[in-house]
Amino acid sequence: MDYDVNARHQSRNRRPCPPLPTYLEDTVSGEKHPSKKLRSNVVSQVQGRLHSEEDCSGNSTSLVSECRGKYSRTTKADVVVQPTTLAFFGLLWCKLLGEAKARMQLYVVMEVPFLRREMAIDGVCMEILVEMVIKYEDDGLELEAGFYPEHKRSMVTILFNDMQTFRSEIKKVTVHIVPFEYGLYPPETIDDNAKRIDFVKKKATQQLESAQYLCRDLDSLGRTSNFAHSALKKTCLAIYYCTSSKSLRQFAEFQESVPVKALALVAAIIRSILTTFKKHGVAKNETLCGDEIEEACNNIMRLIDQVWYDDYYGSKLNKML
């Protein structure tokens, strides 16, 4: 059976067509195709309009605001910046809110990790905002007009939202540290997925028993090193002593040592993540439970108190912090 390659190609594509006479005329005359001429004419008209508007008003913002984005169905003029975002406020107000966020994070770590929205917005968030406004005024810094007190409710909402983001960041950092520091990765010799998950569950359970996840290996005297696990140290350094402008190392409470409440919060979150590995054998994107973390913090603070008032272990913990 004969096989016609040309016929096969044309059956899957389209048959060859002669060039349009218009293109042939352009080739001879050296002129562009009419569609290209039309496009260049449109461009020149737009440029002319731009120049004419600049001559009349001194700028071209009126035309720019009418232009639509490549994939947008709304004009730029239709985009409204909400007062619950930093983009709404002036530069000095943004700086003030940035400092207020850092103070809110300090409150979360040192006082109450989980606050209800109503209590936070009407309470500590508002207090910190007012304190910052007074501080800026005392320092002789003139904040941009038209934002306070008209939008102070939006400002405290920004602070509350950042508080939630901060807790999520703590968990995100901790989730990356925990598997490495507690050896939750099964050996390569285990191929079966069910067995790998079972390995992780047993390993996490072992760490949670008798609060082993808080302790390091025995010291030279054969005594326990309480709250000295490398996971605690690395998490505290990553969260509290980062290079962010909101880093808590700027506050006096963190410059000499890690406060015990800050240590307890990190330990409670590590415990929560280990509990997830114990249940599922893998990391889960679960929201931190405020009541669970608060209860764990209180229990860990009691353990810290027991260690702190012991002559040997208390001195050891104080040096470590």
Residues 202 and 129 in one domain: no
Residues 270 and 187 in one domain: yes
What pLDDT does 161 receive?
93
Task: Tell me the two tokens of residue 30.
Answer: 């050296």
225 bridge partner residues:
216
Full domain range(s) for residue 177: 166-320
Residues 63 and 10 in one domain: yes
CA distance 289 to 291: 6
* Residue ending a domain, choose from 62, 78, 94: 78
Say how many domains are in the chain. 3
What is the 8-class DSSP label of residue 228? -
Q: What single-letter amino acid sits at 239?
A: I
What is the 8-class DSSP label of residue 26? H
Is the sign of the CA dihedral 214, 216, 220, 223 positive or negative?
positive
What pLDDT does 174 receive?
95
> Whole-model pTM above 0.85?
no
Classify 67 as helix, strand or coil.
coil
What pLDDT does 66 receive?
44
* Residue ending a domain, choose from 143, 164, 185: 164
Residues 170 and 316 in one domain: yes
Sequence-ordered alpha helix ranges (H) in the chain: 5-12, 21-29, 34-57, 61-66, 91-110, 117-120, 126-138, 152-181, 193-208, 230-240, 252-255, 260-280, 290-308, 311-320
What pLDDT does 116 receive?
86
What pLDDT does 217 receive?
83
Residues 223 and 289 in one domain: yes
* Residue ending a domain, choose from 140, 164, 188: 164
Whether the upstream peptide bond of residue 186 has omega within 30° of 0, thus cis, is no
Sequence-ordered alpha helix ranges (H) in 257-289: 260-280
What pLDDT does 28 receive?
53
From first to last of the 321 residues of the chain, give the pLDDT tens digit.
555 656 666 666 666 666 555 555 555 555 554 444 444 454 454 445 444 444 444 443 443 344 445 555 655 556 688 888 888 999 999 999 999 999 999 999 999 888 888 889 999 999 999 999 999 999 999 999 999 989 999 999 999 999 989 988 999 999 999 999 999 999 989 989 999 999 999 999 999 998 999 998 888 888 888 898 999 999 999 999 999 889 999 999 999 999 999 999 999 999 999 999 999 999 888 888 888 888 999 999 999 999 888 888 888 888 888
Classify 257 as helix, strand or coil.
coil
Q: Which is nearest to 121 in space by CA: 96, 148, 155, 151?
A: 155
Residues 245 and 173 in one domain: yes
What pLDDT does 98 receive?
95
